[in-house]
C-alpha cells in the first residue's frame, strides 16, 4: 500500500512539475520578430537621348551615320551614348549643310537645333552677287567693245567730215554716237544743225530737240565743246524752240569750269547782259579776265571796255 501510494504521489508530483515546466516554457516561448519589407529596387536613370529639330526639311546624320529625314520643325528623338558626338544636317537638295558638335555628360534629353535657313540665305545671296558681277563684267566688256568700235567709226567719219562728205560722215557719226562717243554726238549735232531740212530757214521743233539731245550727250560724256555748243543752242532757240538763257548759263558754266576760254567769254556776256539771271558786271569782268588770261584775244578786247 505505502509503496503503491508513494508511487502514486510521486507520479502525481512528477506530473505537476512537468506541467509547471510546460507552462513556464509556454511563457518563455519564442520571440516573434516583425517581418521586414524588401528594399525597393533602385530605378536606373533615364538613358541619354537627343531631340533633333531642323528649321527646313532635312536629312541628318549622327557621327556620320544617316538617321533619316526630318520635316521642318518636327522633332525626332534618338538614343545616344555619353561623350562627344557630331550631328549634321543637309537640306533636301543637298546644297546647304550645318553641323553641331555636342558633348553628352549626363543622362536625359539634349535638344539639338539645326538651323539651315541662314545658310541657305547666305548661299543664295552670294550666288546672286556672283551672277550680278558676271552680268556687270559682261556689260562693261560690251561697252568697251562698243566704245572701241565707236572710236573707229568716229575716226573714219571725221575724215569724211573734213572732206565735206557730210551725208557719209553722218552715218558713221550716228553709229559712233550710239556707241558712246561724245565727240561723235557733237559732230552729228553740228551736221544736223547745219544740214537738216529747214522750215522757214530754221530747224523744226523736232530737229531742235534732237540736236539739243546730241549736244547734251556730248557734254555728259565730258566734251567741253559739247557743253558750249548746247549753251549756244539754248541761247539761240532754233526751230521755234524757246530761248532758254538759264540753261545757256548752266552749260556755259560747265564748259568754262572745265577750262574752255571761249565758254568763259560767252558766259561773261550772259552775266553782263543779264541773260538767264540778274546782271552782274563784277562776275562778267572776272570771266572776261579768265578768258583773256587763257589767251582769247576777243575776251581781252571785251575786258578793255571795262577800263
Which residues are registered as beta bridge partners of 91? 58
What is the pLDDT at residue 241?
60
Residue 114: exposure state from Cβ atoms within 10 A (0-12, 13-18, ≥19): buried
Residue 221: exposure state from Cβ atoms within 10 A (0-12, 13-18, ≥19): middle
* Distance (Å, whole) CA 48 – CA 41: 21
Which residues are registered as beta bridge partners of 99? 88
Three cell numbers, residue 297: 584775244
Q: Domains for the chain: give ranges and CATH numbers.
A: 49-115 (2.60.40.1120)
* Distance (Å, whole) CA 80 – CA 179: 69
What is the pLDDT at residue 115?
96
What is the pLDDT at residue 21?
53
**Can you state the angle between helices 245-257 and 224-236, rounded to 10 degrees?**
160
Residues in the chain: 307
- Segment holding 37, helix H or strand E: none
| Residue in 188, 184, 269, 283 with CA at minimum distance from that of residue 235 | 269
Q: Give ∠ CA 22-24-30 in degrees, rounded to 5.
A: 95
Three cell numbers, residue 89: 544636317
Q: What is the mean pLDDT of each run of 10 residues along the chain (307 residues)?
A: 47 51 49 54 66 96 96 94 96 95 94 96 96 95 88 94 92 93 94 64 76 95 95 81 87 96 96 93 94 92 80
CA 254 centroid distance within chain: 36
- Segment holding 31, helix H or strand E: none
Amino acid at each position: 500500500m505505502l509503496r503503491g501510494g508513494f508511487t502514486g504521489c510521486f507520479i502525481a508530483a512528477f506530473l505537476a512539475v512537468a506541467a509547471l515546466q510546460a507552462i513556464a516554457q509556454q511563457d518563455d516561448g519564442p520571440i516573434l520578430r516583425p517581418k521586414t519589407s524588401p528594399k525597393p529596387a533602385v530605378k536606373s536613370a533615364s538613358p541619354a537621348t537627343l531631340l533633333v529639330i531642323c528649321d527646313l526639311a532635312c536629312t541628318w546624320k549622327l557621327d556620320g551615320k544617316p538617321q533619316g529625314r526630318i520635316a521642318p520643325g518636327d522633332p525626332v528623338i534618338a538614343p545616344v551614348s555619353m561623350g562627344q558626338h557630331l550631328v549634321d544636317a543637309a537640306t533636301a537638295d543637298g546644297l546647304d549643310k550645318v553641323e553641331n558638335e555636342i558633348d553628352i555628360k549626363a543622362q536625359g534629353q539634349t535638344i539639338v537645333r539645326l538651323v539651315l535657313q541662314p545658310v541657305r540665305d547666305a548661299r543664295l545671296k552670294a550666288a546672286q552677287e556672283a551672277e550680278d558681277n558676271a552680268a556687270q563684267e559682261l556689260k562693261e566688256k560690251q561697252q568697251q567693245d562698243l566704245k572701241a568700235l565707236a572710236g573707229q567709226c568716229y575716226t573714219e567719219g571725221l575724215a569724211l567730215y573734213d572732206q565735206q562728205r557730210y551725208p557719209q560722215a553722218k552715218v558713221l557719226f550716228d553709229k559712233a554716237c550710239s556707241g558712246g562717243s561724245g565727240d561723235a554726238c557733237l559732230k552729228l549735232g553740228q551736221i544736223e544743225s547745219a544740214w537738216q531740212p529747214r522750215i522757214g530757214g530754221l530747224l523744226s521743233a523736232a530737229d531742235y530737240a534732237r540736236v539739243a539731245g546730241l549736244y547734251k550727250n556730248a557734254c555728259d560724256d565730258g566734251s567741253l565743246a559739247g557743253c558750249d555748243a548746247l549753251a549756244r543752242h539754248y541761247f539761240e532757240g532754233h526751230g521755234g524752240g524757246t530761248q532758254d538763257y538759264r540753261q545757256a548759263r548752266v552749260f556755259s558754266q560747265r564748259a568754262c569750269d572745265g577750262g574752255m576760254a571761249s565758254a568763259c567769254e560767252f558766259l561773261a556776256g550772259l552775266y553782263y547782259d543779264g541773260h538767264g539771271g540778274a546782271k552782274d558786271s563784277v562776275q562778267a569782268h572776272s570771266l572776261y579776265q579768265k578768258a583773256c588770261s587763257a589767251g582769247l584775244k576777243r575776251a581781252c578786247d571785251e575786258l578793255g571796255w571795262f577800263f
